[in-house]
Amino acid sequence: MSDKVFPSAKPAATAVPPAVNGGAPVNTNGTTANGGTTKSHLYNPTSRPPYLPQPYHRRHRPRRNYCCCCCFWTILIILILALLVAIAGSVFYVLYRPNRPSFTLASLRIHRLNLTTTADSSSSHLSTLFNLTISSKNPNSHLSFSYDPFVVSCVSSNSDVFIGNGTLPAFVSNSKNETTFKGVVVTTSIDLDAETVNNLRPDLKKKNGILLKVQMDTKVTVKMGGLKSKKVGIRVSCDGVKGVLPKGKSPSLANVSGAKCKVDLRIKIWRWTF
């Protein structure tokens, strides 16, 4: 009996995975059906990109710190300057001791003070003529005063009715100097309204005389060595003058013993006002 010979079995075909996205099929051993190789998807520590250090960005300080420093130094400088000015003013005041000039109304003569009214009281006329003697004194040792011409006016103290005006010439009052002006004329000739006449007439009828006030206005410049101030206004008010109406052609002498002259002068030298 002959033995049966079976054909040898064909080797099993290796399963080929399907192609991915239409590409060549890939074997599990990392080769493609066309004989190519594929990159492994396993993590390879040597394949990562090298580390590049980031550049250092310096942080900018807020501008608020610089503003605070500027404000601090500005305030400090201002305080130091103010302190220096105060010290200089104190030294100046101690050394020179500036004082206001003084004025005195030495005498006032009334030559004419007439108020006339028409018979029908429709109009009134005032005619006056005064003669004044005025003195000015500078009590300072290192200051001099340069005055512009004065405007001298006279009013009634109770009703403030204008009675007359005049002028005083410009002059310079040096240190420790006294200047006297005699024969300063104050006069007027004006028509008054009914209200002004009603205010002035009671003063003229007083037995002890009419109260008068003399005012002088001008501008003055103060000098101290090479320093010179700007021109500022000055007003001298002499109140408390009692005048009596003249009788006949003889002038009457007003009582000026109680007259006090107030000087309104504001000049700032450094920080002192006098």
Q: What is the mean pLDDT of each run of 10 residues along the chain (274 residues)?
A: 50 50 50 51 58 58 68 87 80 70 95 89 91 95 93 92 95 94 95 90 86 95 86 93 88 91 72 44
Identify the DSSP state of 50: P
Residue 47's CB is within 10 A of a number of other CB atoms, namely 8
How do strand 102-117 and strand 144-147 relate by DSSP bridges? Answer: unpaired
How much is the pLDDT for 162?
94
How much is the pLDDT for 21?
47
Question: Which pair of structure tokens corresponds to residue 184?
Answer: 């300063």
- Is the separation of the CB atoms in 211 and 241 below 8 Å? yes
Distance CA 272, CA 274 (A): 7
Which H or E run includes 70?
helix 63-96
- For residue 132, which of 156, 103, 160 has the smallest C-alpha distance? 103
Identify the DSSP state of 77: H
Distance CA 242, CA 162 (A): 16
How much is the pLDDT for 55?
61
Considering the entire predicted model, what is its pTM? Answer: 0.64
